[in-house]
Amino acid sequence: MSSKGDHGQGASERDGVRDGGGAPASGRYRNRAGALLLAAACGFVLYGLFRGEAAIVLNKAVNICLECIGLG
Amino acid sequence: MKMKHALRRKLVQIAAFGFSNIHLTNFRGGRIYQGKWKQFCNPGLNCYSCPAAGLSCPIGALQAVGGSMNFQFSFYVAGFLLAVGALFGRAVCGWVCPFGLFQELLHKIPSPKWKLPGWMRYLKYGILLVFVILLPVAATDYMGMGKPAFCQFICPAGTLEGGLPLLGTHPELRQSIGALFFLKAAVLVITLGGCVFAYRFFCRVMCPLGAIYGLMNRVSFFRLEVDPSKCINCGKCARECGMEVDPVRTPDCAECIRCGDCARACPAGAIRLGFGRRYSGKKG
Ligand code: SF4
Ligand code: SF4
Residue A38 lies in a domain: yes
Residues B26 and B62 in one domain: yes
Which pTM value belongs to this model?
Answer: 0.90
Residue B282 lies in a domain: no
Q: Residue B259 is part of a domain; what is its CATH number?
A: 3.30.70.20
- A61: confidence class by pLDDT, cuts 50, 70, 90: very high
Residues B68 and B140 in one domain: yes
Residue B13 lies in a domain: yes
Range of the structural domain that residue B234 is part of: 222-275
* Counted domains in chain B: 2
Residue B269 lies in a domain: yes
Give the closest residue to B148 by CA, choosing from B177, B190, B179, B180. Answer: B180
* Counted domains in chain A: 1
What pLDDT does B274 receive?
94
Residue B280 lies in a domain: no
Distance, CA of B225 to CA of B266 (rounded, Å):
12
Instruction: Find the closest chain B residue to A29 by CA distance.
Output: B219
- A26: confidence class by pLDDT, cuts 50, 70, 90: low
Residues of chain A neighbouring B105 (CB-CB closer than 8 A): none
Residues B23 and B136 in one domain: yes
Q: Where is the domain boundary, B215, B243, B259?
A: B215
Q: For ligand 1, atom 5, name the residue with the nearest CA.
A: B93
Range of the structural domain that residue A56 is part of: 26-72
Atom number, ligand 2, closest to the C-alpha of residue B271: 2
Residue A8 lies in a domain: no
Residue B284 lies in a domain: no
Instruction: Find the closest chain B residue to A11 by CA distance.
Output: B235
Residue A72 lies in a domain: yes
Give the pLDDT of chain B (284 residues) as one tens digit per residue: 566 888 999 999 999 999 999 999 999 989 999 999 999 999 999 999 999 999 999 999 999 999 999 999 999 999 999 999 999 999 999 999 999 999 999 999 999 999 999 999 999 999 999 999 999 999 888 888 899 999 999 999 999 999 999 999 999 999 999 999 999 999 999 999 999 999 999 999 999 999 999 999 999 999 999 999 999 999 999 999 999 999 999 999 999 999 999 999 999 999 999 997 777 654 43
What pLDDT does B159 receive?
97
Residue B57 lies in a domain: yes
